[in-house]
């Protein structure tokens, strides 16, 4: 697989092509590699019990073999051997299960996915979607119709922009002209570094390219990806496939019959996430270096979290109490905060902090005119809505810019937030 990709002259293959054309060529080569070299695995009828070790499986098979021998002979001696094998198998199963549970509990910080998957497997009542109540009040049980119903609700909560009245925003950047946020040039080394930071157990997006495949061909794929990323930033255009997402509805609380009680989790392209993280790092470095982020902001930044936020907040409150000052605390929560951002505000906000040129055009294209491909886990068919949507999960950059907008906007009082969200 690596040898096949290494033989391709990417500079010649991608020469004089647009970002979309380059991506289509690269995508076809990846599909060809998968078809040729990735083996197919036969899906068994029974799901393997992950908590069983090889030794436990061996003793279970030995017990079954001894049972068949006893049934054939009917002798007391074979029955005694079977009983001993049965006891040994049960003991090994208990030890294997205990060891497995201890391991997933110990590694919960690094692999929480396995822990919660195991917990869900032990629940007697499994989580499921629906049946749902339609707009006419009738109950919907067919999976495809339930997917359509969820799609309609998820698309309805996004903001339709009214840009006739926009707030006046101050320019916060006070640096010299040559200190402006410049062009982001993506190198193969940068791409390879971001790929190696990926977790191999993450789910792929609509393109079906899993991170495990990217990790296997990281040296060969980083060169063409860097070319595609640079062209995308230069043109201000993101390939259509990167804007699509498979949507999984997760139940929150309340009645399972109401669509508003489900939240959408989008599985987006891992390739697009690489570009998002590169732009995000470039933008965050600029904001931090020029002190454009409020010190009270603790979310979405390295070495900052809800815990550090609460510690700073507690320190301020105890200080005011010790000084004898009156203290009033107001908790604020923004309803559907990242669904209700008006894109024109974010674009204007970025221009005010001198986020200009290719970085601006590339990020604008990434978060506007998004095609939501809502392929629900409860439906086999795909319902596609091409509208003017806001899908905050599609790009990390939206979160960073939105955070900066909140921190620096004159519309927001200069108070320390209790929580970053």
**Beta strand 245-251 with 262-268: parallel, antiparallel or unpaired?**
antiparallel
Spell out the residues 6+ positions from residue 343 whose beta carbon is closer than 8 angstroms to its own.
161, 364, 367, 368, 390
Q: Is the peptide bond before 131 cis (omega within 30 degrees of 0)?
A: yes
What's the CA gap between 49 and 303, in Å, rounded? 38
Residue among 248, 241, 228, 153 at smallest CA distance from 186: 228
Mind giving me the DSSP string for 67-108? HHHHHHH--HHHHHHHHHHHHHHHHHHHHHHHHHHHHHHHTT
CA 238, CA 229: separation in Å to the nearest integer? Answer: 9
* Host H or E run for residue 210: none
The residue count for the chain: 421
Contact between residue 270 and residue 211 where contact means Cβ atoms under 8 Å apart? yes
Cβ neighbors of 239 (< 8 A, separation 6 or more) are 19, 20, 23, 24, 228, 232
Using CA atoms of 224, 230, 236, 240 in order, give the dihedral in degrees to the nearest 10.
20
Count Cα neighbours of 340 within 13 Å in the Cβ-side half-sphere: 5
Residues 35 and 14: their CA atoms lie apart, in Å, by: 22
CB 337 within 8 A of CB 157: no
Helices 112-121 and 76-106, packing angle to 10 deg: 130
Sign of CA pseudo-dihedral 82, 84, 86, 88: negative
Q: Which residues of 91-129 are buried (b: 16+ CB within 10 A; e: fewer)?
A: ebbeebbeebeeebeeeeeeeeebbeeeeeeeeeeeeeb
Cα gap 200→197, rounded to integer Å: 9
CA nearest 400: which of 309, 273, 297? 297
pLDDT in tens, the chain (421 residues): 888 888 888 888 888 889 889 999 999 999 999 888 888 877 666 666 778 888 999 999 999 999 999 998 888 898 999 999 999 999 999 999 999 999 999 988 888 888 888 888 887 766 777 788 887 888 888 777 888 888 778 777 665 655 566 555 555 555 555 456 667 788 999 999 999 998 888 888 888 889 999 999 999 999 999 999 888 888 877 888 887 778 888 888 888 888 888 888 888 888 988 888 888 888 778 777 777 777 777 776 778 888 888 898 889 889 988 988 888 888 877 766 665 555 555 555 555 554 444 444 444 444 443 333 333 344 333 333 333 333 333 344 444 454 554 454 444 444 444 443 3
CA-to-CA separations, 323 to 310, 318, 320, 416, in angstroms, rounded: 20, 9, 5, 19
DSSP state of 353: T
Residues 6+ apart with CB under 8 A from 264: 150, 154, 247, 248, 249, 250, 374, 393
Residue 267's pLDDT is 83
DSSP state of 284: H
pLDDT at 286: 77
pLDDT of residue 162: 58
């Amino acid at each position: 697989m690596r040898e096949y990709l290494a033989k391709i002259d990417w500079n010649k293959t991608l020469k004089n092509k647009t970002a979309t054309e380059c991506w289509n060529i690269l995508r076809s080569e990846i599909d060809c590699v998968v078809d040729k070299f990735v083996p197919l695995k036969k899906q068994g009828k029974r799901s393997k019990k992950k908590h069983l070790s090889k030794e436990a499986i061996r003793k279970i098979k030995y017990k079954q073999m001894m049972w068949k021998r006893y049934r054939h002979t009917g002798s007391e001696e074979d029955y005694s051997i079977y009983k001993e094998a049965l006891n040994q198998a049960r003991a090994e199963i208990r030890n294997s299960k205990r060891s497995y549970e201890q391991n997933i509990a110990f590694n919960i910080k690094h692999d929480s996915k396995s822990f919660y998957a195991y917990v869900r497997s032990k629940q007697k009542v499994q989580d499921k979607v629906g049946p749902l109540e339609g707009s006419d009040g009738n109950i919907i049980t067919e999976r495809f119709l339930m997917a359509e119903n969820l799609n309609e609700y998820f698309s309805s909560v996004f903001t339709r922009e009214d840009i006739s009245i926009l707030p006046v925003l101050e320019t916060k950047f006070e640096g010299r002209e040559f200190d402006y946020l410049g062009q982001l040039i993506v190198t193969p080394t940068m791409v390879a570094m971001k790929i190696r930071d990926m977790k191999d157990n993450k789910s792929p997006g609509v393109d079906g390219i899993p991170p495990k495949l990217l990790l296997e061909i990281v040296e060969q794929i980083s060169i063409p990806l860097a070319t595609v990323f640079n062209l995308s930033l230069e043109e201000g255009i993101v390939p259509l496939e990167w804007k699509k997402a498979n949507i999984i509805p997760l139940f929150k609380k309340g009645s399972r019959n109401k669509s508003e009680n489900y939240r959408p989790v989008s599985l987006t392209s891992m390739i697009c996430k690489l570009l998002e993280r590169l732009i995000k790092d470039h933008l965050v470095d600029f904001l931090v270096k020029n002190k454009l982020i409020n010190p009270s902001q603790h979310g979405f930044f390295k070495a900052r979290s809800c815990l550090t936020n609460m510690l700073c907040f507690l320190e301020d409150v105890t200080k005011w109490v010790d000084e004898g000052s009156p203290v009033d605390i107001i908790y604020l929560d923004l309803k559907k905060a990242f669904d209700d951002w008006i894109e024109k505000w974010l674009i204007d906000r970025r221009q005010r902090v001198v986020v200009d040129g290719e970085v601006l055009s590339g990020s604008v294209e990434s978060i506007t005119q998004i095609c939501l491909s809502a392929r629900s886990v409860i439906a086999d068919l795909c319902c596609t809505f091409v509208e003017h949507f806001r899908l905050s999960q599609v790009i990390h950059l939206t979160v960073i810019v939105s955070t900066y907008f909140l921190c620096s906007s004159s519309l927001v009082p200069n108070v320390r937030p209790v929580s970053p969200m």
